[in-house]
Amino acid sequence: MTTTSTILVILFIILAPVIGGIISGGDRIISAKMQSRVGPPIVQPFYDVLKLMGKENLVVNRYHGDYMICFLIFTIVSGCLFFGGNNLLLVIFALIVAGVFLVLAAYCTNSPYALIGAERELLQMLAAEPMIILSAVGLYVVTGTFDVYGIANCQHIPIIYLPGVFIALTYVLTIKLRKSPFDLSTSHHAHQELVKGLTTEFAGPSLGLFEIAHWYETVLLLAMIFLFFGSYWILGIILAVIIYFIEILIDNINARIKWELMLISAWAVTLILGVGNLMILYFVFHI
Amino acid sequence: MGYFAKSPWLLHYDGSSCNGCDIEVLACLMPKYDVERFGIINTGNPKHADVFLITGGINTQNIDVVKNIYNQMGEPKVVVAVGTCATSGHFFSECYNIIGGVDKVIPVDVYAPGCAAKPEMIIDAVVKGLGILEEKKKKMSPK
């Protein structure tokens, strides 16, 4: 590891929860404004997590806490791999492993709501992951490397060659961020039973860990969007902000859908926009 | 002020209320009062909640439900009885199936009378409950 990558990894570990928390707080304020409410202060997610950390930890299975810690660690590891400039495929696989630990944490509670939530989380992964891997492939086709720094330093802007892949990635981003209409496994709004799904049995500190891991995940996913702009990082940040605003808008104007529609639509988008984009690159532009 | 006072999550349970108080509880969450300004969120999950709002009196059918929900909530927790029915049973108190106010079954920390309890009263009761929440947290910590 070079000095730059070490600094970036350390910055990610320290700053990602701060940025993720502020994004989440901003999300709540913008959502409130869209519903003509005032909304909480921007630091509200930090208050929530600090409160959750002080609450009694009700665990029904002794391994539950371990799974949650593994979920957090693997989310951080995948972020560190990304900002350390490693292979993009490795980053994606580490993120999937983190997701599996979350599903295990929900399964081990034996609650029917958590079980359904866990199964839906698996379906969400099934719907979203092909497109995320395909976006790594797309970036490889354009830049000739899976290396994160290699992609970030490439001379041209990958999004010009990969508009379809980018739109499809934005589509599955809604699934990864668990926003309506794809908040099947669990919703980040306070809800009950089936809607809360996965996190039904998470109480106090373990729900706090889930929130922190979600902040890391949000930053990592937005960083992947950012990667589509290569070395034009200002453009990347502006587009990442716009994309997140669109996600909030979609979250507020959509109702939850059934899992069949999520799976079919996500795969259709992956096939048509993702694979279609790569095929046009190959057959028409011979890249 | 600790973090419990800044992020109290509510759990609302309707005992045998006429729905008057329930509508007032929901009115607190709507744009006019918007309690999310104070970090208050209405959760439906006892494991996530800090404040237990009960409307309506306790009857023979929901006595176990109320006890169960109360036991599922993690410490520290506060119980707020919203409306006169929840505080004493009100005009249902002499019905054959009504046991009485919520305090007959679980310990109540704050009483918010009114028929129906006004949103201002409910918000005031929850804010009073926050002080108790902090005190309970302080008692918890030495353990």
What pLDDT does residue A76 have? 93
Q: Is B17 in contact with B58 (CB distance < 8 Å)?
A: no
Q: Would you call A196 and B44 a contact, using CB atoms and an 8 Å cutoff?
A: yes
Q: Are A185 and A174 in contact (CB under 8 A)?
A: no
In a domain, B1, yes or no: no
Q: Which long-range contacts (CB under 8 A, 24 or more apart) does A40-43 make?
A: A40/B36, A40/B37, A40/B38, A40/B39, A41/B39
Per-residue pLDDT at A192: 61
Closest-CA distance of chain B to residue A110, Å: 15
CB-based contact A190 B41, cutoff 8 Å: yes
- If one counts the domains in chain B, the total is 1
Residue of A nearest to B71 (CA): A58
- Dihedral angle sign, alpha carbons of residues A176, A177, A181, A187: positive
- Measured between alpha carbons, how far is A38 from A280 in angstroms, rounded to an integer? 47
Q: Which residue of A has its CA nearest to B38?
A: A40
Q: In which order are the strands placed within the sheet that holds B41-43?
A: B41-43, B9-14, B51-55, B78-82, B110-112
Residue B47: closest CA among chain A residues belongs to which residue? A203
Task: Reply yes or no on whether the pLDDT at B1 is more than 80.
Answer: no
CA distance A13 to chain B (A): 24
What is the per-residue pLDDT for A74? 93
Structure tokens at A133: 């891997």
Is B2 inside any structural domain? no
Q: Which residues of A touch B9 (CB under 8 A)?
A: 190
Q: Where are the beta strands (DSSP E) in chain B?
A: 9-14, 41-43, 51-55, 58-59, 78-82, 98-100, 110-112
- Whether A204 and A55 have beta carbons less than 8 Å apart is answered as yes
Q: Among all residues of chain B, which has the CA nearest to that of A36?
A: B31
Q: What is the pLDDT of residue A92?
A: 92
Distance, in angstroms, between B49 CA and closest chain A CA?
A: 9
Q: Can you list the pairs that A275-278 forms with residues at least 24 positions away whose Cβ atoms lie under 8 Å? A: A275/A134, A276/A164, A277/A138, A277/A162, A277/A163, A277/A164, A277/A165, A277/A168, A278/A134, A278/A137, A278/A138, A278/A141, A278/A165
* Touching A: B residues 22-81, CB under 8 Å: 31, 34, 36-39, 41-45, 47-48, 50, 72, 74-76
Q: Does B91 touch chain A (CB under 8 A)?
A: no
Residue A61 three-state SS: coil
Instruction: Decide: helix, strand or coil at residue A201.
Output: coil
What is the reported pLDDT for A19? 92
What pLDDT, on the 0 to 100 scale, is given for residue A1?
64
- Is residue B138 less than 8 Å (CB to CB) from chain A? no
Tell whether B2 lies on the interface with A, counting CB pairs under 8 A: yes
Q: What residues of A are in contact with residue B47 (Cβ under 8 Å)?
A: 58, 200-203
Residue numbers of the domain that contains A188? 3-283
How distant, in Å, are the alpha carbons of A12, A14, A127 from that of A77?
A: 10, 13, 23
Give the model's pLDDT for residue B47.
86
pLDDT score at A97: 92
- Asked if residue A51 lies in contact with residue B7, where contact means CB atoms within 8 angstroms, the answer is yes
Residues of A in contact with B52 (CB under 8 A): none
Question: What is the full per-residue pLDDT of chain A (287 aa) written as tens digits?
Answer: 688 888 988 998 999 999 999 999 999 999 999 988 888 899 999 998 998 888 888 888 888 888 999 999 999 999 999 998 889 999 999 999 999 999 998 888 888 888 888 998 999 999 999 999 999 999 998 888 888 888 888 878 888 888 999 999 999 999 988 888 888 877 776 566 666 778 888 888 888 999 999 999 999 999 888 888 877 888 888 888 999 999 999 988 888 888 899 999 999 999 999 999 999 988 888 77
**The tokens of A30 are what?**
């913008």
Within a domain: residue B37?
yes
Closest Cα to residue A146, out of A95, A202, A86, A106? A86
CATH number of B134's domain = 3.40.50.12280
Domain housing B27: 9-140
Question: For chain A, how many structural domains are there in total?
Answer: 1
- Measure B89 CA to nearest chain A CA, in Å: 28
Mean pLDDT of B85-97: 86
Distance from CA of A41 to the nearest CA of B (A): 7
Closest CA to A117 of A125, A130, A107, A127: A107
